[in-house]
Amino acid sequence: MHFDTLAIRAGAEPDAETGAVAPPLHLSTTYEHGPGGELPHGYFYGRYANPTQDRLEAALTAIEGGSQALSFASGLGATAAFLQALPPGGHVLFADDVYFDVGTIAREYLPRWGLEASHVDMTDLAAVRAALRPNTTLLWLESPSNPMLKVADIAALAGLAHAVGARLLVDGTFATPALQQPLALGADYVLHSLTKYLGGHSDVLGGAVVFRADDEVVQHCRQVRKTLGAIASPFGAWLVLRGIRSLPVRMARHAASALAVAERLAAHPRVEVVHYPGLPSHPQHAVAARQMSAFGGMLSFQVRGGRDEALAVLSRVRLFTIATSLGGVESLIEHRASVEGPASATPASLIRVSVGLEHADDLIEDLMQALG
C-alpha cells in the first residue's frame, strides 16, 4: 500500500458501535471492571491505556513499519521515558547536533540514571567507530538534525551499532515517515515529537517512540510511562490522528517550498551559508538523496555580520512569525542561539526557519526584504 493511502487509513476503522468514520474521542479517565479486577472492556485506567491513544499508536506503527508504538505527552516525555528504560551501566552515544534539551538530559540526568553519555559527529563514521565503548548500548541520532540540518547515513550507523551489540534510535521529527523510513534502513527505534509535523497545526503536544521489534526496552518503556505518568491525553492523540491524515500532502508542499526558499537564500550576498540537505552544496546531500524521498520543510541559514545582523533580519520580517517550534501550516522563524540560552553551541549568526504552507513566492519576498 502506498504511504499516502496508509496515512489516511491507518487507525481509521469506522467505529464499531456507531459506524462513525471519524475516530471517536474517549475522554474517560476510568473504566468499569469486574469484582476481581477483570477487564471486560479491555481498559482499566486512563494512565494505562485509552481507546483513542490505541488508535494513534496503531497508526504510528503502520506508517513507520514497526511492530508497536508508544505515545507520550511530549517529545521530551518520550525521550526521558525511553532513556529511563535502558539498563543502568550502559553508554549512550549521542550525535553532536541533537536538540538542545536532549543534550541537557544527556548531561544532567543520565548520570543520575546510571548511564554514561558522550557526543560525536555522526556524519563521520570513523569518528563514530572510535567513540564506541565496550558498554555502548545505544546510538542516538537526529537526521536531519536540529538546527544544523546534518544528515547521517542511517544504514551505516545501524551496522556499526549492531556490530558491537548496540542499537540505533533515530529522531525522525524533521523528516517524518512521509520522507524517511529509518526502521527500513536498519534503525531499531524511531522517536517523534508529534507536536511538530505529525500534529501539523501548532495546537497539540505529543511524542512517540516506534519499535522495530518487541524487545525488553518496549516493556520497560511502557512501565516507565505507566508509573511516571507521561501519558498522551486522549484529545491530543485525537488531534495527532487528524494530522496524520494530511501528512503526505503537507510534507510535499513543505519540502517544495523549503527547497525554493533555500535556493534563493543561497544566492543572496548577505547569506554566508544555507543548511538544507536538498541543496547540492550541502555536505551530506548525496546521503540525503539516497535515504529521503524529499528534503523536508526545515532549513537554517547564517547571515554575514553575526548575531546583531541576524537579530536585525528577524526584526524586519513581516510574514514569518517569530516563534519557536516547527511543522505547522504557518511559517516560523527564530534566532536559535537566543532561544537556547547561554549554554548554546549554535552559531550566533544562525536563523532557523520552519517553512509553512503559504505560497513560496510570498515567503521568499519576505526574506529578501528582511535581508535588505
Positions annotated as catalytic residues are 47, 99, 171, 196
Q: Which of 120, 111, 201, 218 is nearest to 161 (CA)?
A: 120
In the structure grid, which three cell numbers stand for residue 19, read together? 459506524
DSSP letter at 96 equals S
- Dihedral (CA of 158, 160, 163, 166) sign: negative
In the DSSP assignment, the letter for residue 249 is: H
- Rounded CA separation 120/101 (Å): 17
CB atoms within 10 A of CB 116: 16
- Residue 35's contacts (CB-CB under 8 Å, 6 or more residues apart) are none
Encode burial over 281-317: b for 16+ CB neighbours within 10 A, e otherwise. Answer: ebebbebbbebbebbbbbbbbbbeeeeebbeebbeeb
Rg (CA), the chain: 21
